[in-house]
Amino acid sequence: MALANIRLRLRRMAQNGLFVAALILLAGLLGFLALQTRTQWDISQGKRNSLSQVSVEALKKFDGPLTVTVYATAQDPQLGNVRKMIEEFLILYQRIKPDLKVIFIDPVEQPMAAQEAGVQVNGEMVVEFDGKREHLTIFNEQALTSLLMRMARPGDKRILAITPNVPRDASVLIISSPQADLPEGEVEKLLAYVAQGGSLLWLLDQEPLHGLQPLAEKLDLTLTPGVVIDPQAQQSRMPITFSLGASYGHHPVTDNFDHATVFPFARQVTVNENEEWRSVPLVEAAQSGWVETGKLGDGMVFDEMYDVLGPVNIAVALSRSVQDREQRIAVVGSSHFLANNYLGYGKNLDFGINLVNWLAGDENLISIPPRATSDSSLTLSEGTQTAIIVGFLILPLAFFASGSFIWWRRRRR
């Protein structure tokens, strides 16, 4: 009987020893795998803690290390811990590209280094790759990824306002509502640029065209005189002469773009049917409004004899094939929507960036959507955080103690 008990006890000890050894081996294996591999899941709403596929593809274009030098103080009176915010933001990029090196320099402690780098604001980043160097003063995915895509491409894009001579390597020419008549020779140069297939962004207001009527004829446009009146603007506490983007056409500029835009003092832009240009209406406004051809003022009402009933198209995209490539032109019936005073209205800036990117042939930059922060953050007090930490420490110890007690009792039997 005693011999049988001894054998049973030895068997249990062996089983317990094997269990403990297996448990230690499993824990060691899990620790090894944790060091060798990294897996994460983004469960935040909108996946705002992960990079978009566009950003991932942009990072893959870099064959070699990237360096980001951040000139930021540890604390900012308004923003708080700037370094921590930027570091957490750049970690998203480092997870995709481990050879992205981040260097922090305090511009207060090292003012000469900041001055030599041409740094102007706290938190400014200097991105370097293969001899190229660019500055970034805002840290969001759209801004940084756009910068990276510019650095990755072999050549530079040139985007110009109207000039006496249009360089041949200009990617986009911008005309923004001239205030004086253009000389005939300058108009001829502009028409030659369009005839050769140049990309153009034409922002025009209700004022006279100042010599650009031949351009409107070349593009086969009808520019209705008058200002678009949009009663829905009053619901947003804006003047009735501000048109709200109500619907958008199916086009790379406006695909997946369902944000509000505001076009002050807009005019109607219509493309006549023709066989030369392919046209897509980009923005439609004033569904319950009209084009006011009379004087602006209080008490304006629709006059069916003179005014044009809404909805009104205020932006169009044109394209055609020239010398085996696609020529792109956009015409917007409001130069004010990109002016400094109105750039912050709605998503005017995003819409303007989409326009320029499409005209310059950078469609990839259009598809970086803004990240919504619709889910709320959870803020815990220090006491609550301490209780949670202690709880997570006590629970494993409790399980260990319970297992040890059960093993001890079985051993005594």
How do residues 113-138 score in pLDDT, each as one tens digit?
A: 989 988 888 888 999 998 888 888 87
- Please state which of the ranges 13-22, 258-267, 336-345 shows the lowest mean pLDDT: 13-22
pLDDT band at 355 (very low <50, low <70, confident <90, very high): very high
What would the 3-class secondary structure string for the chain be? CHHHHHHHHHHHHHHHHHHHHHHHHHHHHHHHHHHHCCCCCCCCHHHCCCCCHHHHHHHHCCCCCEEEEEECCCCECCCECHHHHHHHHHHHHHHHCCCEEEEEECCCCCHHHHHHHCCCCCCEEEEEECCEEEEECCCCHHHHHHHHHHHHCCCCCEEEECCCCCCCCEEEEEEECCCCCCCHHHHHHHHHHHHCCCCEEEECCCCCCCCCHHHHHHCCEEEECCEEECCHHHHCCCCCCEEECCEECCCCCCCCCCCCCEEECCCEEEECCCCCCEEEEEEEECCCCEEECCCCCCCCCCCCCCCEECCEEEEEEEEEEECCEEEEEEEECCCHHHCCCCCCCCCHHHHHHHHHHHHCCCHHHHHCCCCCCCCCCCCCCHHHHHHHHHHHHHHHHHHHHHHHHHHHHHHHC
Beta pairing partners, 262: 244
Give Cα separations from 269 to 109, 311, 362, 403 (angstroms). 55, 12, 25, 79
Q: 80 has which bridge partners?
A: 76
Percent of the chain at pLDDT above 70? 82
Distance CA 164, CA 175 (A): 12
CA 406 to chain centre: 58
Rounded Cα–Cα distance for residues 206 and 219 (Å): 18
What separation in angstroms does the CA of 186 have from each of 117, 170, 211, 335?
A: 40, 16, 10, 21
Cβ–Cβ < 8 Å for 334, 133: no
Q: In angstroms, rounded to a whole number, what is the distance separating the alpha carbons of residues 311 and 232?
A: 12
Q: Is pLDDT above 50 for 373? A: no
Instruction: Return d(Cα 90, Cα 200) in angstroms, integer.
Output: 35
Measured CA to CA, the distance from residue 200 to residue 213 in angstroms comes to 15
Question: Residue range 148-162: average pLDDT?
Answer: 64
- Rg of the chain's alpha carbons, rounded to an integer? 32
* Contact in structure between 149 and 99 (CB atoms under 8 Å): no
Report the range of poorest mean pLDDT among 97-106, 141-150, 165-174: 165-174
Secondary structure (DSSP) of 8-25: HHHHHHHHHHHHHHHHHH
Q: Express as a percent the part of the chain with pLDDT over 90.
A: 27
- Res. 185: pLDDT tops 70: yes
Q: What's the mean per-residue pLDDT of the chain?
A: 81
**Confidence (pLDDT) at 328:** 95
Strands 262-264 and 278-285: unpaired
pTM above 0.75, yes or no: no
pLDDT, tens only, 47-105:
566 787 778 888 888 888 999 999 988 877 766 788 888 888 899 999 999 999 999 99
Closest CA to 125 of 146, 108, 102: 102
Question: Which of 174, 181, 137 shows the shortest CA–CA distance to 338?
Answer: 174
- The residue-averaged pLDDT of 326-355 equals 88
Looking at 3.40.30.10, 3.40.640.10, 3.90.550.10, 3.30.56.10, the CATH number of the domain 48-152 comes to 3.40.30.10
Higher pLDDT, 116 or 299: 116
**CATH, domain range 159-367:** 3.40.50
- Reported as a single tens digit per residue, the pLDDT across 5-22 is 667 677 777 777 777 777
The dihedral over CA atoms of 108, 113, 119, 121, expressed in degrees to the nearest 10, equals -10
Judged against a pLDDT cut of 70, whether residue 341 lies above it is answered with yes
